[in-house]
Amino acid sequence: MAGGNTAADAVIVGAGVMGASCAMHLASAGLRKLLVVEKGRGVGSGSTGRSTAIIRQTYSNYEVSLMAKEALGCFQNWRDFVELPETRANFIAPGVLFLFRKDDQGLASILELHRRVGIRSTVLSGGDKARMFPDLDFAAAPPEEVAALEAGGAEPEPHEAQALFEHDGGFADPVGTAEDMLDAARALGAQARFNTAVTAIGHQGGRVTGVTLATAGGAERVSTPLVINCAGPWSMGLDAAVGFPLPHELVATRIQVVTKHFGEKLKGPLPVMADMVTGFYGRLEAGGRQVVLGSVLEEDEREAVADPDDYNEVADAPFRERILTLLHHRVPTFKTRGRVSSYAGLYTVNRVDSHPIIDESELLGYYNVNGWSGHGFKLSPIAGNLLTYKVLGQWGRGKSEVPPGFFARDRQPLTTHWGGVIA
């Protein structure tokens, strides 16, 4: 498709997991002359490459949990899903452990949602906790309570956390996942171009007519009736440039992650953890010699970034210290020694209700698949299929039971019951 003027059935902006998923499903539904354009150097060079890539099913809404369960099924049968002889997603499934305060009343509602969706989960008894995860201190008090009590000379009381274990969750390689889906689209005729930015979207009579690309060789015009904006933190700039911003407030938001290498021998397996008592999440890396950590607190998802090409890509020292303290508090097997590193990526946070927009804009033929607020990776295998149904009125790979209009741009805000990590 190189040259001065070309044509495509659709142009997809962004080669992260969303762009790759849309390309795969659209190509599977018959749109073969697809062009995926990415301003970065390669697949997943934006938010996807900085994702911790956790795959869980527990959400506040039935439809989102259903979507997560469908996506999990894709990861569990990944090679068949992408129809490739070799894959790079490398899904690992140690399960996901949610820890809640002992007085948290939300667990019954979560269990009822799990029953409706068909999510395999168990509330762990004291004996189950010790047997399954001997490295965890389930009675650890929240650190702020410990500090307050110690300041007053008192001993903190044990705080036995409620523990909910999702049996089938885990994590994957984020860039490998995007690469696999994009390769699946390429096998059906799609093309991808990197170091290529969309500088303008042409339209006439309220309908898309094409895009202008900036490449090393200069400007290029691609005629197309369909543009899919999967640009994540850069998507709002494209919306503004074309003159059709979303009614939701999407904000590029800096998210910090800490990694620690360790040499200690663990007593047992470690699941993916979402510790709602102390306020962190964590998982082992694929090799098992490194732990990846972040925050589940809503206040750690507020740092707006004005320019997604220019922000601090290393975690702040106080954040690193706090997250490591929380880890050692919950998992005393880990010692304070060990090489620590960090990075920061970007979420595209929907400040209205923390959920994405998958819908056509007021400009016909211009679609958004953005605003995932940190939940996008795990839902990405299904996201492109919902987009495909919105565009073509038919499914791509498989059929989703999630209503295609659930993430409409003009919807009423979706409810969130249990905090930021379980939106």
Task: Encode pLDDT of 312-357 as tens digits.
Answer: 999 999 999 999 999 999 999 999 888 999 999 999 999 999 999 9
Residue 224 identity: T
Q: What is the pLDDT of residue 376?
A: 97
Q: CB of 264 within 8 A of CB of 333?
A: yes
Residue 71 is predicted with a pLDDT of 98
The confidence score (pLDDT) of residue 421 equals 45
Q: Which pLDDT band, with edges at 50, 70 and 90, does 147 fall under?
A: low
| Residues forming beta bridges with residue 272, ordered by sequence position | 96
- CB within 8 Å of 123: residues ≥ 6 apart: 107, 111, 162, 163, 164, 165
CATH number 3.20.20.370 is the correct assignment for the domain at 5-90+173-248+352-422: no
Which pair of structure tokens corresponds to residue 103?
């007085």
Long-range contacts of 186-190 (CB under 8 A, 24+ apart): 187/83, 187/84, 188/24, 188/27, 188/28, 188/32, 189/27, 189/32, 189/33, 189/34, 190/23, 190/27, 190/32, 190/34, 190/35, 190/36
How far is 285 from 70, CA to CA, in rounded Å?
24
Query: Which helix (DSSP H) or strand (DSSP E) does residue 222 occupy?
Result: strand 218-223
Amino acid 154: pLDDT: 66
User: What's the mean pLDDT in 109-132?
Assistant: 97
* Exposed / middle / buried, residue 3 (Cβ in 10 Å: 0-12, 13-18, 19+): exposed
* Model confidence, pTM: 0.95
Average pLDDT rounded to a whole number, residues 123-145 = 90
pLDDT of 144 above 80:
no
**pLDDT band at 382; cut points 50, 70, 90:** very high
Alpha-carbon span 24 to 190, nearest angstrom: 8
pLDDT in tens, 160-181: 999 999 999 999 999 999 999 9
- How far from chain centre, in Å, is Cα 361? 23
pLDDT, position 2: 47
Quickly count: other Cβ atoms within 10 Å of residue 415's Cβ.
9
Nearest to 112 by CA among 72, 161, 60: 60
Question: 372: which 2 tokens?
Answer: 């995932």
CB 349 within 8 A of CB 376: no
Which helix or strand (DSSP H or E) is residue 72 part of? helix 62-76
Residue 305 and residue 229: Cα distance in Å, rounded? 19
Torsions phi, psi for 215 (to 5 deg): -125, 175
Residue 72 has pLDDT above 70, yes or no: yes
Q: Are strands 207-215 and 197-204 parallel, antiparallel or unpaired?
A: antiparallel
d(CA 106, CA 415): 14
- The model's pLDDT over 387-396, given as tens digits with 9 standing for 90+, comes to 999 999 999 9
Q: Is the pLDDT of residue 420 over 50?
A: no
| ∠ CA 395-396-402, rounded to 5° | 50
Domain residue spans in the chain?
A: 5-90+173-248+352-422, 96-168+251-349
Residues belonging to the chain: 423
Check residue 217 and give its pLDDT. Answer: 76
Instruction: Please give the pLDDT value at position 336.
Output: 84
Per-residue pLDDT band at 159 (split at 50, 70, 90): confident
The answer to whether residue 205 scores a pLDDT higher than 80 is yes
Pick 399 or 4 by higher pLDDT.
399
The answer to whether 58 and 214 have CB atoms below 8 angstroms apart is: no
The number of beta carbons lying within 10 Å of the beta carbon of residue 121 is 22
**Which CATH topology does 96-168+251-349 take?**
D-Amino Acid Oxidase; Chain A, domain 2 (3.30.9)
The token duo for 141 is 């008090």
